[in-house]
Amino acid sequence: MSSSGLLFVVSAPSGTGKTTVVEQLVKIVPTLEMSRSYTSRPPRSNERDGVDYNFVSRQEFEERIARGDFLEYADVFGNYYGTGKAETEARLASGRDLVLVIDVQGARQVRERRPGTVGIFVLPPSFQVLEHRLRGRSQDPEAAIQRRLATARSEVSAVSEYDYVVINDELDRCVTELRGIVLAERARRDRRANVIVPIAKTFQ
Ligand code: 5GP
């Protein structure tokens, strides 16, 4: 897959607030967009199809897997989640940078297929804070909370696979730090060839 835009993957344990953080980030950074995933999970009461996710049936998801429609996909908490390959390619090809908010299994697949991908891991301040947030926000039964906490332990152990780590202790601070990462990645010399060459010519 060749493209001109930059691809970022953001992972974090469920309850860390990564979606909120990335939603804020794309509001303040021009030409940075958030990808919309497909999922076979049913929508929650506050979610809308085509906005929060593209909600599809399990069968449709499996048909899409068979067609090779996904850049990555994973089974998370018993439901499928995946990133559409064609829409990702089209958005990157148009020069926009894209953020995928995906789990660690999906992030591994993306890194393998696109070696230039920038990985960012968002950590909660502690396990105890994560547990408190999960219990506070959700109507989920205890078993579901326990499952998310167990997954969180194994996800945090994958932190060393990522290029950057930010702590979500305070929303604004965390968003500012993420913005710094995006701007720094955009300024890397190897990604600025199209700017360097014309300027360098004026010096000849
Ligand atoms: P939720 O059901 O709470 O919206 O999301 C559950 C988990 O699925 C989160 O860890 C989220 O990052 C992950 N997820 C959301 N979209 C995708 C995706 O497209 N691919 C993968 N691999 N994981 C995703």
What CATH number is associated with residue 131? 3.40.50.300
Domain-embedded: residue 58: no
- Radius of gyration for the chain, computed over Cα atoms and rounded to the nearest angstrom: 18
User: Is pLDDT of 85 > 80?
Assistant: yes
Domain-embedded: residue 43: no
Domain-embedded: residue 138: yes
Instruction: Give first-to-last CA distance, the chain, whole Å.
Output: 35
Range of the domain at 25: 7-35+97-201
* CA atoms 142, 42, 19, 99: torsion sign: positive
Domain-embedded: residue 129: yes
The owner of tokens 């290029």 is 163
For residue 18, give the ligand 1 atom closest to its CA. 12
Total domains in the fold of the chain: 1
Band (pLDDT 50/70/90 cuts) for residue 138 is low
Asked whether the beta carbons of 7 and 92 are under 8 A apart, the reply is yes
User: Is pLDDT of 113 > 80?
Assistant: yes
Give the pLDDT mean for 104-110.
98
pTM of the complete model: 0.94
Instruction: Report the residue among 103, 138, 155, 161 best suited for mutation to probe ligand 1: largest number of ligand atoms under 8 A from its CB.
Output: 103
* 103 CA to centre of ligand 1 in angstroms: 6
Give the pLDDT mean for 51-59.
97
Question: For ligand 1, atom 20, which residue shows the shortest CA distance?
Answer: 82
